[in-house]
Amino acid sequence: MATPTPHPSQRPHLAAVVEDHFYAAAGWVLARAGWRPRLETYTGYGTPDRVRVLARVLIARPRPASPDRDALRAGRRGFRHFLTVPAPLSRVRVQVGGQTTVVTSDRAGYVDVELPVDPPLPTGWQPAFLTCLDGSEEWEADASLLVLDERTRFGVVSDIDDTTMVTAVPRPLLAAWNTFVRHSSARRAVPGMPELYRKLQRAHPDAAFFYLSTGAWNTAGTLRAFLSRHAYPAGPLLLTDWGPTLSGWFRSGPAHKKASLELLMSWFPHVRWVLVGDDGQHDVEIYEGVARRRPDRVRAVAIRRLTGGQQVLAGNAPHVANGSHAGTTTSGSGSPPVPTVAGQDGDELARRLADVPGVLDDQDR
């Protein structure tokens, strides 16, 4: 998301050039068939005086917006979420509080903009109002914003695949089947994880939850429906674009997660985070790196252990599958070490987190 504009001397990657030409041709054909720009909004976040608004402009068949859109999409087979055509360089009016700004979507149709707000917004869930100004008629859509102030001290950043839902990302063929072929509504929650997150929310009623994944924004509606269906606490999704970039064929998943974590910590310096992930790919390395660099900002790291077979298929050494990842992460700053716990499911992680002060018992109150 927020595809960067290349330096004037930088030539875009061939894959990006081909993708842009393909979408331009597809958009022309669909426009001739009567399709028009449509807004797809995502949950943003911010502080009382500054917010980040996220959305995408797509070419779509004219039809009224449905309040049950996410639930309807959850019943589709996965591949249908990727059959989209963006509307690049579309003008979008964004209204937040008393501020109104007109922005332009990027080459992939995305709107990712930080806006000042005056007068300040109340904390909690607030609306943003977006209007697509291009096309024969205006398309309006609302977006939710999670607004936090300095009173918020506790937050959770959670991976999604194989942390909140069973995806089998370490097994490429099974992951592809789950992503592209199975009905999205057939996804299962990792045992005990919804209950763990609700325990964290009960211990910290003002806690902020963010769901960070290398998954594509195309699946945002399905993921929202999944999290709601299994009663996970509501929170913004932090996903990434699907397809080539201006500099290569694929985006870096670890780079996306690292950048997203750094951005959250810069926006909310008063929050200490519990970082939840699994040991199937890069979460352990990423979270431990953050804990070393910013030990005063990380309250604990919780890692869901995959089975030995899943670890081998993920390309990890066999001994990693038997390791607990439990202990502490030290830093060079002299700050206290960050506790790290591990377990095979949410129930085991809850038992281990119960021994970490200030996680399942709110010591900040």
What is the predicted pLDDT for the residue at 364? 54
Residue 214 token pair: 């290398």
Q: What does the angle CA 361 – CA 362 – CA 364 come to, to the nearest 5 degrees? A: 150
Phi-psi region of 80 (alpha: psi -120 to 50; beta: other; left: phi over 0): alpha
Q: For tokens 């205006």, name the residue.
A: 138
Count CB neighbours of 107 within 10 A: 17
Give the H or E element holding residue 201.
Answer: helix 193-203
Instruction: Tell me how far CA of residue 298 lies from CA of 193, 205, 239, 275, 359, in angstroms.
Output: 20, 18, 21, 7, 11
* Residue 188, CA atoms < 13 Å, CB-side half-sphere: 5
What is the chain's alpha carbon radius of gyration, rounded to the nearest angstrom? 21
- CATH number of the domain that 201 lies in? 3.40.50.1000
327 and 188 in a single domain? The answer is yes
175 and 303 in a single domain? The answer is yes
205 and 223 in a single domain? The answer is yes
What is the predicted pLDDT for the residue at 170? 46
Residue 3 maps to a domain = no
Last residue of a domain, one of 100, 128, 147: 147
Contact 296, 336 (CB under 8 A): no
What is the predicted pLDDT for the residue at 84? 78
Q: What are the φ and ψ backbone dihedral angles of 316, each rounded to 5 degrees?
A: -85, 155
- Strand runs labelled E in 12-164: 36-47, 50-60, 91-96, 99-104, 110-116, 124-132, 139-147, 154-158
Residue 200 token pair: 């964290």
From the list 195, 176, 179, the residue with the least C-alpha distance to 187 is 179
* Residue 167, CA atoms < 13 Å, CB-side half-sphere: 25
Instruction: Give the domain extent around 127.
Output: 14-147
From the list 308, 301, 357, the residue with the least C-alpha distance to 328 is 301
Contact 121, 97 (CB under 8 A): yes
27 and 100 in a single domain? The answer is yes
Neighbouring-strand partners of residue 56:
40, 110
pLDDT in tens, the chain (365 residues): 543 433 333 445 555 566 666 667 766 676 777 788 899 999 999 999 999 999 999 998 876 555 555 554 544 444 444 567 889 999 999 999 989 999 999 988 999 999 999 999 999 999 999 999 987 667 899 999 999 999 999 999 999 988 999 876 544 444 444 444 445 566 789 999 999 999 999 999 999 999 999 888 988 988 999 999 999 999 999 999 866 555 445 567 789 999 999 999 999 999 999 999 999 878 999 999 999 999 999 999 999 998 665 555 445 554 443 344 567 766 556 667 899 999 999 999 999 999 999 999 866 54
From the list 300, 279, 281, 280, the residue with the least C-alpha distance to 290 is 300
Last residue of a domain, one of 88, 121, 147: 147
Residue 215 maps to a domain = yes
Instruction: Tell me how far CA of residue 113 lies from CA of 103, 104, 146, 248, in angstroms.
Output: 8, 10, 15, 24
Contact 234, 183 (CB under 8 A): no
pTM (predicted TM-score) = 0.84
82 and 180 in a single domain? The answer is no
Residue 191 maps to a domain = yes
Residue 334 maps to a domain = yes
